[in-house]
Chain A
């Protein structure tokens, strides 16, 4: 059984973060994936496309694209500011378990996204390597016009 200090986070909002979608960051991201599609870096090509602008690859936003550090707070991952401390219950290691995306509208270079997250569930499982906890987090991404552009559901595995 997971202790209350962990399970109390189920259903809790875990913070709102904003992120500027920079054109250079999009190009570097596509390059790191090995995707040469000019829609991510060629302005002339992108202008003539149905989007009329350079777009971010689906998946660019959200984990693990981070906000830059600021003076007030340490580096935070979009939408993952607060959550339980699994190290305190003997599960210090973390692995990315997977992701589900709903892509609702294109994200364009220059957009400002706001991510709002909530912890949906925290479950304990015993696997071949011992005790693990699965944390499910849902995040909604909204652009500067108030349009929802994407929703994600991520799983982190603490062991």
Chain B
């Protein structure tokens, strides 16, 4: 994990380190098992086609957890994530598998965040960010916001 970030070290307009993610059909099955969301929309081609989304789509909640991962990595152990929200605005589709454990070439998503406000409140050192998951074309399919408390050098 990266070095601990401190509130004094950040400023409004600053981008945080992006977190790349890929999704494969195998990963979606693993997420279904871990999260308990067994909606066939995410692994059954015939069902997904009947739902008007073309083919199985990535779970919105998995993209949300990618954003949580982006934020918790950035705030580090001394920081804490206070709020996170996101909207699933556009569909994302997983890569198929070439062989077991080997995804086909394809899309890589980038989870990104940018600080829009730096302030203190009730003794806490806080930052607000816009966050989002960008698809391989650079389109934000899952925009959101986050608030985090960072440690202060005092």
Contact = CB atoms under 8 A, between A and B. Distances in A.
B69 A32 contact: no
Interface size class, chain A: 20 to 34
Contacts of A102: 82-83
B37 A64 contact: yes
Interface string B60-82: 11101110110011000110111
A32 B31 contact: yes
Contacts, number: 97
B84 A103 contact: yes
A99 B85 contact: yes
Interface stretch (A1-9, A90-98, A141-149): A90-98
A115 B82 CA distance: 19
A28 B31 CA distance: 9
Contact of B60 (A37, A98, A129): A98
Given A39-B77, A99-B61, A99-B64, A57 B72 contact: yes
Contacts of B64: 59, 99
B65 A103 contact: no
Interface string A1-41: 00000000000000000000000010011011111010100
A33 B62 contact: yes
A129 B90 CA distance: 13
A63 B61 contact: yes
Main secondary structure on A side of the interface with B: mixed
B35 interface: yes
A59 B65 contact: yes
Contact of B88 (A32, A96, A129): A96
A28 B87 CA distance: 25
Nearest to A51: B77
B1 A103 contact: no
A109 interface: no
Interface in A121-159: 129, 153, 155
Contact of B27 (A29, A32, A37): A32
Contacts of A29: 34-35
B123 interface: no
B26 to A, nearest CB: 10
A37 B1 contact: yes
Contacts of B85: 98-101, 153
B77 A31 contact: no
Given A33-B65, A34-B21, A98-B60, A58 B31 contact: no
Interface string B81-102: 1111111100000000000000
A32 B80 contact: no
Given A57-B72, A96-B88, A50 B78 contact: yes
Nearest to B30: A32
B32 to A, nearest CB: 9
> Which 3 A-B residue pairings sit nearest by Cβ, starting from the closest?
A66-B36, A98-B87, A32-B34
6 contacts: A29-B35, A37-B73, A57-B65, A59-B61, A98-B88, A100-B84
